[in-house]
Amino acid sequence: MADSQLVLFAPRFLEIHAGSSILHDPVTALIELTANAWDAGATKVDIDWPDKSQARVFRISDNGHGMSENEFRRRWLTLSYDRREEQGMQAEFAPDLGITQRRPAFGRNGVGRYGMFCFAESYVLRSWKNGEEIAYRIKKGVTSPLEVSFVSRTERDGHGTALEVEKACYPNLTAERARAEVGMRFLTDPSFTVKIDGQQIDFNDLPDKQIDRVELDVDDVGLVSILVVDTREADRTSKQHGVAWHVKGRLVGRCSWEGTGHERFLDGRRAEARRYTFIVSADGLEHAVSKDWSHFRSDDPLFQQTNEQVQNAIRTKLIELTKEKRTATTQAVQEALKTSVSRLSPLSREKWNAFLEEAQIACPSISEKELTQLAGVLAKLEEAKSTFGLIDQLDAMDTGDLDDLHKLLKEWTLGFAKIVLDEVQGRLRLVDELHKKVFDENTKEVQELQPLFKQGLWIFGPEYETIEFTSNVGMTKVIHSLFRSDLTGSLHRPDFAILPSGSVGLYSYPKYDDHGAEMGVDRLAIVELKKPGVPISTDEKGQAWKYVKELYDKGLLQDYSRVTCFVLGVSVDPNETGVRTEKDGRVCIYPLNYDTVLGRARSRLLKLYERVQDAPFLDTQRVEDFLNAQVAEQGAFALSSFDKSRPEKVAS
């Protein structure tokens, strides 16, 4: 068995793993290290910034919860440590700090600790809690990412963590600029204070060119100030960006782009969401803050009034700030769809261009890809005959319907769905028409039903689904000759025979030999409909057998032919409900009443008829009323998309 081998790490592994910006950009490194203190539940952070003198000390210490020996090994020495998985989504506070508000954690992937390597090749970590301080030296490894060595273990009260470098590389970042960079991201929560070289960071440290102020005078609330902070460059995450509400120097809830209502100002994945911050100061709303300061009471009328004005002001400011980005996005979409747009009329093109701007303003979180897709659809709608009728239908849908439509279009092609739905609609209409006619005492002639059953052979079983089942005029003429019938109507419908007691239709498909040549009738279905008042009894079943026997005698049927007769009427003699068979079972005669037939039809449609019997396409009058209303309201309406026809009735 081969000896086990050590895994070696190339010098560039750490840079690939942590990211070059954390290792080489002092702004990114500083923000990540400060965020670690934030996640540790600290309320105070002290930073000693390295200057140009010989004593270039860099130290960042906090009063967070600290780490025990085991926690240090588990959390700090685990590469790609998943902070959220191990410690949850919220920061953990030491009990003596008395912090009751929830604080969302900043970090997730455990790379922030590598920020110290931006200032030196090694550093000392000290962490203390439960009366003990541990100290370890951590340096970049040669054959492994990190080399860790024990420094000391001493008694110490309190809790916290400190990272320090005695001879730091002088960063290309002044202490003044460092205060500005930290302030632009961590002044959202006044309970989290940061000092650099003993000077606490406040709003005065923010550069004038990167801040703006909007002031609102709200009735019964007073002055509401909105500080707009622009970091210029998008950060790695949007955690310290968004809208933060301050009341009496205290944060209400958390800083977030979700705002205080149900509307999200920006998608956190967008660059703008990782660049801008709005700090709203509204001391006049102290009465509307919940006891734990986690939110405002949404039912407070003064808060509602203030919130509406603040949201409008922020939205207006975002529109102003993102104008340049919207212009670039508009140009990109126009370029991507220039072929489609070139086919539009000048008026349609003007409307389409206006939509690009309005959509980005109304939906600031929409991405360029999503806008391109939507604009492409609208360009096609401008060309389509239905124009924007589809948009009206989509607008009328609730979110559940839209999700269902998305799933349908994802799983089905539109053409295939239309074929299936047309077939289902046709069958539902057929069942509805049969239901109306078979029980209507005013039905003039039973013969009206025969064409419907010609379309509805599927009702009798799956074997009749084949399109090869067609009317057999030659066989019908034989039945005509049996009764020597000259009744009016027979010549108008040669595909079925009108008899004194009703009508008979014959539908067959052929049998083929090995060479594909037709050699006779393989299957024959006979549908005999009895007039109202004619119950189905022995004689009626026997009559069906006479038709079949005559067809055998005429040589139209062979021994291999299988025949099924359906004798249908309003009622069946209770003593004659059984199936009559002839020719060793090759001929079967089924007596059925219309209730049974319709029950079979509904069952074969999986009870769909009962679920959609109020559908507009089953009620022509309702469709016509709807169309007339649309015409009256709009002046004109395209009727081509509505099928107003019913199954053709047979003239008597």
pLDDT for 535-546, tens place per residue? 888 888 888 898
Range of 42-51, 72-81, 388-397, 441-450 with top mean pLDDT? 42-51
Find all residues with CB under 8 Å of 6, minimum gap 6, and list them: 143
pLDDT for 125-172, tens place per residue? 999 999 999 999 999 877 778 889 999 999 999 999 999 998 888 888
* pLDDT band (50, 70, 90) for residue 599: confident
Could you tell me the CA-to-CA distances from 504 to 205, 484, 501, 524, 599 in Å, in that order? 97, 14, 10, 13, 22
- Is the pLDDT higher at 77 or at 496? 77
What is the pLDDT, as a whole number, of residue 642? Answer: 33
Q: What sections of 500-636 are H helices per DSSP? A: 538-553, 594-604, 608-612, 620-634
Going by their DSSP bridges, the two strands 122-129 and 199-200 should be labelled as unpaired
What is the pLDDT, as a whole number, of residue 646? Answer: 35
What is the pLDDT, as a whole number, of residue 565? Answer: 92
What is the pLDDT, as a whole number, of residue 498? Answer: 62
Given a cut of 50, whether residue 639 has pLDDT beyond it is no
What is the pLDDT, as a whole number, of residue 516? Answer: 73
* pLDDT band (50, 70, 90) for residue 173: confident
**Nearest alpha-carbon partner for 551 in 462, 441, 474:** 474
Q: In what order do the strands lie in the sheet with 58-62?
A: 146-155, 132-140, 122-129, 160-165, 58-62, 44-48, 193-196, 199-200
Given a cut of 60, whether residue 388 has pLDDT beyond it is no
Given a cut of 50, whether residue 643 has pLDDT beyond it is no
What is the pLDDT, as a whole number, of residue 581? Answer: 93
Tokens of 321: 């700030």
> What integer is the mean pLDDT of 330-354?
86
C-alpha–C-alpha distance, residues 428 and 179, integer Å: 73
What is the pLDDT, as a whole number, of residue 476? Answer: 67
* pLDDT band (50, 70, 90) for residue 651: very low
Q: Compute the mean pLDDT over every residue in the chain, rounded to the nearest whole number.
A: 80
Given a cut of 50, whether residue 633 has pLDDT beyond it is no
Given a cut of 80, whether residue 468 has pLDDT beyond it is no
H or E segment to which residue 505 belongs: strand 502-512
- What are the chain's domains? 13-184 (3.30.565.10), 207-321 (3.30.230), 325-396 (no CATH), 422-610 (no CATH)
* pLDDT band (50, 70, 90) for residue 467: low
What is the pLDDT, as a whole number, of residue 364? Answer: 74
* pLDDT band (50, 70, 90) for residue 614: low
* pLDDT band (50, 70, 90) for residue 227: very high
What is the pLDDT, as a whole number, of residue 225? Answer: 95
What is the pLDDT, as a whole number, of residue 649? Answer: 32
* pLDDT band (50, 70, 90) for residue 606: low
> What integer is the mean pLDDT of 96-125?
84
Residue 68: how many other CB atoms lie within 10 Å = 16
> What integer is the mean pLDDT of 415-432?
74
What is the pLDDT, as a whole number, of residue 488? Answer: 38
Sign of the CA dihedral 465, 470, 475, 480? positive
* pLDDT band (50, 70, 90) for residue 201: very high
Among 264-268, 281-285, 595-599, which stretch is predicted with the lowest mean pLDDT?
264-268
> What integer is the mean pLDDT of 379-386?
71
Given a cut of 50, whether residue 648 has pLDDT beyond it is no
pLDDT for 302-340, tens place per residue? 999 999 999 999 888 988 888 888 888 889 999 998 888
What is the pLDDT, as a whole number, of residue 470? Answer: 67
What is the pLDDT, as a whole number, of residue 136? Answer: 95
What is the pLDDT, as a whole number, of residue 157? Answer: 95
Cα radius of gyration (the chain): 41
Are 159 and 133 in contact by the 8 Å Cβ rule? The answer is no
pLDDT for 549-596, tens place per residue? 888 888 888 888 899 999 988 889 888 889 999 999 999 999 988 888
What is the pLDDT, as a whole number, of residue 114? Answer: 87
What is the pLDDT, as a whole number, of residue 416? Answer: 66
H or E segment to which residue 356 belongs: helix 346-362
Burial (CB count <10 Å: 0-12, 13-18, 19+), residue 108: middle
Phi-psi category of 395—alpha, beta or left, where left has phi over 0 and alpha has psi -120 to 50? alpha
Residue 185: how many other CB atoms lie within 10 Å = 22
Find all residues with CB under 8 Å of 30, minimum gap 6, and list them: 47, 115, 173, 178, 181, 182
* pLDDT band (50, 70, 90) for residue 2: low
Given a cut of 70, whether residue 607 has pLDDT beyond it is no
Given a cut of 60, whether residue 490 has pLDDT beyond it is no
* Helix-then-strand count for the chain, H and E: 20, 20
Three-state SS string over 407-453 comes to HHHHHCCHHHHHHHHHHHHHHHHHHHHHHHHHCCCCCCCHHHHHHHH
User: How many residues in the chain?
Assistant: 652
pLDDT for 28-74, tens place per residue? 999 999 999 999 999 999 999 987 766 688 999 999 999 999 999 88
What is the pLDDT, as a whole number, of residue 92? Answer: 86
Tokens of 550: 């005559």
Given a cut of 90, whether residue 85 has pLDDT beyond it is no
> What integer is the mean pLDDT of 234-247?
83
